[in-house]
Amino acid sequence: MSWEKNVRKVEPYVAGEQPKDRDVIKLNTNECPYPPAPGVKKLAETLDCDRLRLYPDMNAEKLVNALADYYHVAPEQVFVGVGSDDVLALAFMTFFNGEKPVLFPDITYSFYDVWAQLFRIPYEQCPLDENFRIKKQDYLKPNGGIVIPNPNAPTGVLEDRDLFEEILAANPESVVIVDEAYVDFGGKSMIPFIHKYDNLMVVQTFSKSRAMAGIRIGFAIANERLIGYLKDVKFSFNSYTLNMPSIEMGTEAVRDDAYFKEIVGRIIKTREWTKKEMGRLGFEFQDSQSNFLFVTHRKVKAEEIFLALKENHIYVRHWKKPRIDNYLRITIGTDEQMQRLIEFLEKYLKEKSDD
Ligand code: PMP
């Protein structure tokens, strides 16, 4: 059709499947297997619906203040959005307007190249080494910005904070985004370094360690000037992003630190058990410090295992992409879910080797 020449054409991001069937063991989108903090449930049950007549607080002050307190930063250094996807998309739009390419790893969160294409941002993907590690020198060349998750996804590999310090110090003219969606599962946050590097933006989410993927809250912490620019773009786009129940429930989740630490601790324990079992079954993987494992089997193709699991109502993630098509990303569920996964794999792999 003739109007199509004026359409902004993009190849959209493909999220993991959300099956309708509730009996599935769902290990495909890195959600938390535990419910949100008890106070969040209480708030949901006692929500004053009359208040929904009114617009929410466009600055989400309550939530921003709770996060500022928790992370020992000023409220002016905090930005909240509808999931970290919202925060990251706005950050791409706000900070990556140079002529030089934005840099990110070749194996990484598959939304980055989609945003770059959507916003017409030139980009270059820097190949990870054979152990899925970041090669520092790739990020020391001229660039229009840098974005790296730590731990990286879908590899689960955690890099030391020194690496990011070196990248930040070498790139004072670029905004460097560290996407810490999975940092609570064993990493150390770069948040304290926002006081040292005015070009650093740290992004985190409530979707994984705070068990609230359904509520959609993400946030950025950075120097107030950076946050100010991000707010200017947000308020030129959509003022009322977070809704009132999200602001209330998010605030409650941040306040219950004991529950947060308890569920994160449980997931880490289950992850370490799963690593041992997967190793025993002939899987190989890097040492994940996130809430998922990225595994390949010595003998059986990943796609075959993926399909067999799916047929048996266990969902994991598989990408038909260069370098990673023989890998599966498996979210850490409850102990019981992981036991069922291991039992199935043990039987399945034994039958295959008997063939
Ligand atoms: N960054 C990374 C590395 C992720 O894996 C995800 C989860 N898909 C996100 C950001 C976005 O998470 P959310 O929008 O749920 O906060």
pLDDT in tens, 253-267: 999 999 999 999 999
Which residue among 29, 84, 115 is best mutated to probe the pocket of ligand 1, counting the most ligand atoms within 8 A of its Cβ?
84
CA 84 – ligand 1 centroid, Å: 6
Decide which of 193, 224, 256 is a domain's last residue. 256
**Whether 119 contacts 96, CB under 8 Å:** yes
Which domain covers residue 47, as residue numbers?
38-256
Which residue among 104, 152, 205 is best mutated to probe the pocket of ligand 1, counting the most ligand atoms within 8 A of its Cβ?
205
Give per-residue pLDDT as tens, 101-121: 999 999 999 999 999 999 999
Same-domain status, 207 and 309: no
323 vs 30, 135, 327, CA distance in Å? Answer: 21, 16, 9
Same-domain status, 67 and 111: yes
Check whether 283 has a pLDDT greater than 80: yes
Q: Which residues line the pocket of ligand 1, CB cutoff 6 A?
A: 83-85, 109, 149, 153, 179, 181, 205, 207, 213, 218
Q: How far apart are CA 287 and CA 106, in angstroms?
A: 19
Same-domain status, 177 and 190: yes
CA 85 – ligand 1 centroid, Å: 6
Same-domain status, 315 and 335: yes
Q: Which ligand 1 atom sits closest to the C-alpha of 108? A: 3
**CATH code for the domain in which residue 86 is found:** 3.40.640.10
For the record, the structure tokens of 46 come out as: 């006692």
Same-domain status, 151 and 95: yes
Decide which of 189, 224, 256 is a domain's last residue. 256
Decide which of 212, 228, 256 is a domain's last residue. 256
Same-domain status, 251 and 262: no
Q: How far apart are CA 171 and CA 161, in angstroms?
A: 15
Same-domain status, 180 and 242: yes
- Total domains, the chain: 2
Check whether 170 has a pLDDT greater than 80: yes
**CATH code for the domain in which residue 289 is found:** 3.90.1150.10
Percentage of residues in the chain having pLDDT higher than 70 = 100
For residues 158-178, average pLDDT: 98
Give per-residue pLDDT as tens, 176-235: 999 999 999 999 999 999 999 999 999 999 999 999 999 999 999 999 999 999 999 999
Same-domain status, 49 and 188: yes
Q: Bridge partners of 204? A: 219
